[in-house]
Structure 1
Amino acid sequence: MKTRTGKTIGIAASAAALALSVPLAVTASAEPTTTTVTAEIPDPQGKCDPFKQAVPNWKSLANVPVSKVLASIPDISSFNAAVSGQLNPAVNIDPVLDNGPFVVFAPTNEAFAELPPEQQEMLRTDPAALTSLLYYHVFLGLLGPDDVKGQRPTQEGTEIEVTGSGDNLKVNETTQVVCGGIQAENARIYLVDHVLNPADAPAPKTSTSTSGTAETTATTSAAPATTPAAPLPAETPTTPAAEAPIG
């Protein structure tokens, strides 16, 4: 009896020792990881060094409404005054621009300073003339420098044509894009060296007929996520801002 008991105890001890010598299997589930990918903000194209020096935080503007971006660029302060009710209190199209997507051509301060004195005075005193001029600088879309080429109707209703690509863009053949593709939350901004004139607009592209089959000249454009209504009437600020000089 003692022998059997001893053998039993020995076997139990050996089993216990074997169990201790074998590593325990551990089943661990990996915690899910979330990787946040930040889209790279492409450089605007053209002679953009002055813009980058004046607005060193330009990449952060990609998440800012276009009205605030326009206000943050010193070289287009005259254009910003015109769109925000500072030039003419009866004209404030900032709310419309913030309801993009839009491509916005913003003339530099030098471009506004080149306007004849009588035209500058008209823009200060004639809301309809100013509204029409400003809407000619805007069309629907969200296009960078490599995609903006083409002919499209502006928010004013008249056509506008962009030729070239990248850092060599022109508008209506004679106006040079100084720096283009500046990103805002809902717009792409192009600084231009002249105030655009609807009188210089290209003729609308029309369809032609060949052998009885209508062929429409193709115009490339981006389909916006939302389509704003036709240009809204100018809004009058509750508290008119001080009149800002052009230039």
Structure 2
Amino acid sequence: MKTRTSKAMGAAAAIAAIAGSVPLAINAYADPEPQPKPAVEVPDPQGDCDPFKKAVPNWKALNEVPVSQALASIPDISTFNAAVSGGLNPEVNITSVLDNGPYVVFAPSNEAFAELDPGQLDALKADPAALTRLDYYHVFLGLLGPEDVHGQRPTQEGTEIKVEGKNGDIKVNDTAKLICGGIQAQNARIYIIDKVLDPANPPEPLTPTVDETSTTTTTTTTTTSETATEEVVPGAEAPAG
């Protein structure tokens, strides 16, 4: 006669046999392998860009950083970078604005600032309002390459600049010539120019041409004058008495 212990052992052995005969289903989830970022083709800037490329050998990497970092990475525009980042006057730092682009930035070279009239740069340093106005006059909204940047455009300062030409032959406000541009930053296109633009001497604003035919309707009012003729009846003469 089997005991309860032997029955329990037999049941346990049966369960073990069944478990051994049925494979366990295990769901394994592996993290997906990170996909490489697609290569971004950074076009060559236009103009006399050999000095720029020599000074900034990793210039294509500027495409991955905001414009404030890109400006700070170009040695030939260190004065302009100081003007927009608080270096000339701690009260004037517009880098956070520029980093919220997209912007086209015309950055005068260090030599361009050196050509200013004596004392003019010192006057800008001492006048935060004038320096801010100068900074914003060199910036307008957009992401335009050398083929498309031409036109007359409103700057962030409020008045217009005039950009003529394309590729390596670009002129701004009839005086400043392109040295090298447009250098790609993450949110901007940078154009190094050989003159400091003067917001006090903007180009004549464009006058919109309206092709409309103005129709003038002339209303002629005819007034009818009525002449009332009063017929006078001579009175009867009194009879002679």
Q: 45-54 vs 171-180, which deviates more?
A: 171-180
Where does residue 186 of structure 1 map in the other structure? 187
Instruction: Return the letter of the residue paired with 2:93.
Output: N
Where does residue 117 of structure 1 map in the other structure? 118
1:222-245 Cα distance to aligned partner (Å, 9 max, x none): xxxxxxxxxxxxxxxxxxxxxxxx
CA distance in 1, matches of 2:190, 2:212: 43
Q: Which runs of 5+ in 1 are unaligned?
A: 1-33, 214-247
SS at match of 1:95: helix
Where does residue 199 of structure 2 map in the other structure? 198
Where does residue 149 of structure 2 map in the other structure? 148
CA distance in 1, matches of 2:153, 2:186: 22
Shift of 1:210: 3.7
Shift of 1:206: 1.9
Shift of 1:35: 7.3
Where does residue 66 of structure 2 map in the other structure? 65
CA distance in 2, matches of 1:58, 1:126: 33
Equivalent pairs, count: 183
Shift of 1:154: 0.2
Shift of 1:199: 2.6
Where does residue 87 of structure 2 map in the other structure? 86
Instruction: Return the letter of the residue paired with 1:44.
Output: P
SS at match of 1:208: coil
CA distance in 1, matches of 2:106, 2:147: 16
Instruction: Return the letter of the residue paired with 1:61.
Output: L
Q: 1:56 to 1:202 in 2, by over 3 A?
A: same
Which structure has the bigger radius of gyration?
Answer: 2
Where does residue 235 of structure 2 map in the other structure? none
Where does residue 159 of structure 1 map in the other structure? 160
Shift of 1:70: 0.5
Shift of 1:147: 0.8
1:103-125 Cα distance to aligned partner (Å, 9 max, x none): 00000000001111221111110
Shift of 1:36: 4.7
Q: Which runs of 5+ in 2 are unaligned?
A: 1-34, 215-241
Give the RMSD, CA atoms, in angstroms. 1.9
CA distance in 1, matches of 2:37, 2:98: 30
Q: Please give the TM-score of this superposition, normalised by the length of structure 2.
A: 0.72
